[in-house]
Structure 1
Amino acid sequence: MVVIGGGIIGLSCADELLRAGHDVVVCDPAPASGATHAAAGMLAPAGEAWFGEGARLRLGLDSLERWPGFAAGLEQRSGIDVDLRSTGNLLIGMDRDDLAEVFRCCALLEGSGVQAESLDRDELWRREPGLSSRAAGGAWLPRDRHVDPRRVASALLAVLGDRVVPHRATPVAGGVALEDGRVLPADVVVLATGARGLASVRPVRGEVIRVRTRDAPSHMVRARVHGQPVYVVPRSSGEVVVGATEEEHPGHAAPTVGGVARLLDAARQLLPGLDTAELVDVVARDRPGTPDNGPLLGVVHSPGPETRIVAGGHYRGVVLLAPVTAAVVRALVEGSPPPDIADPFRPDRFERTTACS
């Protein structure tokens, strides 16, 4: 079988299938260089929760619980520490309007049975002394985690080895065609092509900044700073990841002056210690978005004898949803029932919605 796409989703699916005893190859001209390379690695379904996305929250919570076992097994097999950290998530509102949005999120979480503890200014500063004294308040989400996606990708590439083929591939009847003209026969083709190449998936641009500082926060922080969303994620290496821009426009994914300026301004207001941080890296990549912000997980039509499975459209959950996506793909390959929580994310759901309207 062949997996097209060597981001964290495609690599995780291939690893799961290989460990289950299947013969698998991954095709990608530049593995782990897309959204995986830019991702902050927030395993934060609670922090990402929003109204009307209950199914996505449940899928994320399921995958979150799979992450410790997934990371431990990967570390053991690869020898690479993926920097999985369980320090929770601080949601911050800089002013009253920002804080109102935080509390709306908390009310939603409480209705879904997810723990969210409201914090006043003093409680916030006790947890994270580097926060600005102007922060209005916030909340604590203890179950959220974060991980370093670049290390995860390195570990997956290490365990998959020469099963990762650095070629662009296109699905054809009976397998995939490589850009050099060769055809690889396959009984199963998994489409994990990221932001391009899948029906109902569109690119959503995101910019990410990496800095190095001695004043790094000890927690993952998500905030609204006078309406501007921003997140700050510390790494064990001393780096800090700053991000949150979302823009929809065509063309090559490149950082913009305006996007970077907004991120830096919001991050510095939130954590004044970042003012003296050393700028390390600025990147932009396209997230794979769908009309309802949920992934596409399931079997799709194939013109040939092979089974085609889509594993794409993960949007902001590219890293978070890797373990549960791998489990769904394995179940589909082996003819077992996928987890029930994956049912709302069948690839044909948008076609069915159009037909019923």
Structure 2
Amino acid sequence: MDHSGTVVIGGGIIGAYCAYELARAGESVVIVDPAPASGASTGNAGMLVPSYCLPMANPATLSAGLASLFSADSAVSFARPITADTLSWLARFVVASRPGRAVRVAPELVSMGARSIDAYERLAAREGIPLEVRRCGWLHAAETPAALRAHTKAANALRRLGVRMETLSGEAARERVQHLSETVVGAVHFPDDAAVDPTSACRAVLSAAAKHGARTVRALATGLIRDGDRVTAVRTDGGDIPAHAVVLAAGHRTTVLARRLGLGVPGIAPAQGWSLTLPADSGQAPDVALMSVDDHVVINATAGMVRLTGGMRFGGDPDEAPPQEVFDRLRATANRLVPSLSAITDDGQKFWGARPMTASGLPVTRRLLGNMVVAAGHGPLGMTLAPATAELAARLLQQTLTRSTR
């Protein structure tokens, strides 16, 4: 590549891993992001979950999503008034949720998720950086028989896709997980899932990219300069950056930047998520990652803390603080599922940010121009799919640039 190098727009986990793969291959890489290792990539649950790779666009989620239009207490909600953009996204989501489609495309996502867990561990060993992957499994705990039956049915469908799982009675679940509540009537355990501290993981990948020469420019990408079928520079609020090639991994802003070039990217909508991080020691926190089947709240404990996540809101301003009640619900569910957590008096650290959600439930990783690849729209699977996505994006970019030099 020439001196202008490859510009990676986005310093979240997807952009960071793309930068790492390209820099390790010997490319000159510049990462452009006003606040690298922040946003949804660091405020999420930190789960690496092949078991969660059934695309969100499926009949069951569609049914729950439509019901949420009329309920303020649903795990998925919609800001009022519902805008034309949200309705357009919902229409595409309805089409993508046709029966059978999610099951057909899920095996590749499951495979990508499994490969990615191994890739995180290889990166940590190869680069000698602190990126602790806990192969703790993931326990989906149910507190009502109806929720357990429905979840077990869905889990059995995943088993047919190659995802290992086991069903547990409430007593067996409590034997498996410390501090689990007596209210749990049963659970589904996915032993191959893993967990990380997402902030530490994102910083570690950026550090690994820097070890191979990638540099970071703290600036906001505001546009792209195009010459025919190529991008020649990335426009930022700090000046233009020449580009030999571009990886567009800007999360929910990806569609906006692509449109400024007159390019179409399948609609990526910002869906606000939130988390609450509490200080916790091993005497309070569960030793296995948990999810409440009834309330869809995830509890992931790492060194000295426990993170609670759950809920998603479409529409509105994704940067606007959500109401206090969403954090109260996280805490109430966590205290009920793991009673030892109720002893924590700290108010915790609140986070909110936008997940980039595609209507199809599938991430977008493909070539947009002669020298630009997009990698975005991972929704809640950014941490899970980042390494496999980066390998694909780097391969697409190399193939594209090889063809352009012939």
Which bracket does the TM-score occupy, shorter chain normalised? Answer: 0.7 to 0.9
Once the 2 structures are TM-superposed, how far is the Cα of residue 211 of structure 1 from its aligned partner?
1.0
Match among 311, 322, 325 for residue 386 of structure 2: 322
Q: Distance in 2 between matches of 1:246 and 1:75?
A: 35
Letter in 1 for 2:336: Q
Alignment of 1:80-159 (within 5 A): 80-159=129-208
Matched, 1:298 2:382: no
* Residue among 227, 242, 247 paired with 2:308: 242
Contact 2:139 2:288 in 1 (8 A): yes
- Partners of 1:255 and 1:282 within 8 A in 2: no
2:328 counterpart (247, 254, 261): 261
Q: Taking structure 1 as the reference length, what is the TM-score of the superposition?
A: 0.86
Instruction: Give CA-to-partner distance per residue, 1:282-327, whole Å, 9 cap, x none.
Output: 1111100010111011011x4xxx5111100000101111001111
Report the Cα offset of residue 68 of structure 1: 2.8
Q: Following the alignment from structure 1 to structure 2, what is the Cα–Cα distance between the partners of residues 129 and 156? A: 31
Contact 2:274–2:311, Cα closer than 8 Å, also in 1: yes
Q: Percent identity?
A: 29
Query: Which position in structure 2 is the counterpart of 1:176?
Result: 234
| C-alpha deviation, 1:10, in angstroms | 0.3
Superposed displacement of residue 75, structure 1: 5.3
Contact in 1 for aligned 2:117/2:194 (Cα 8 Å): no
Does residue 71 of the first structure (1) align with residue 121 of the second (2)?
A: yes
Q: Which residue number corresponds to residue 286 of structure 1?
A: 354
Q: CA RMSD in A?
A: 1.8
Paired residues of 2:365 and 2:389 also in contact (CA < 8 A): yes
Output one character per residue of 1:132-168: Cα deviation in whole Å (capped at 9) or x when no partner.
Answer: 1111101111111111111112212323346111011
Give the gaps of 5 or more residues in structure 2: 1-5, 59-100, 227-231, 256-264, 401-406
Q: Look up the match of 1:46.
A: 51
From 270, 277, 282, the counterpart of 1:203: 270
Cα distance in structure 2, aligned partners of 1:253 and 1:98? 32
For 1:67 and 1:59, the matched residues in 2 are separated by 13
Of 27, 37, 43, the match for 2:32: 27
Q: Is the 8 A contact 1:203 1:288 kept in 2?
A: yes
Cα pair distance change 1:108/1:34, threshold 3 Å: same
Contact 2:129-2:208 within 8 A present in 1 as well = no
User: Does structure 2 conserve the Cα–Cα contact (< 8 Å) formed by 1:40 and 1:149?
Assistant: yes
SS in 1 for 2:296: strand
Tell me, which stretches of 5 or more residues in structure 1 are unaligned? 337-357
Displacement of 1:264 in angstroms is: 1.3
CA distance in 1, matches of 2:111, 2:209: 27
Deviation at 1:45, TM superposition (A): 2.2
Instruction: Give, in whole Å, the separation in 2 of the partners of 1:268 and 1:145.
Output: 23
SS in 2 for 1:229: coil
> Is 1:47–1:91's contact at 8 Å kept on the other side of the alignment?
no
Contact 1:299/1:308 (CA < 8 Å) preserved in 2? yes
CA contact (8 A) 1:255 1:283 kept: no
Matched, 1:11 2:30: no
Aligned partner of residue 348 in structure 2, secondary structure: strand
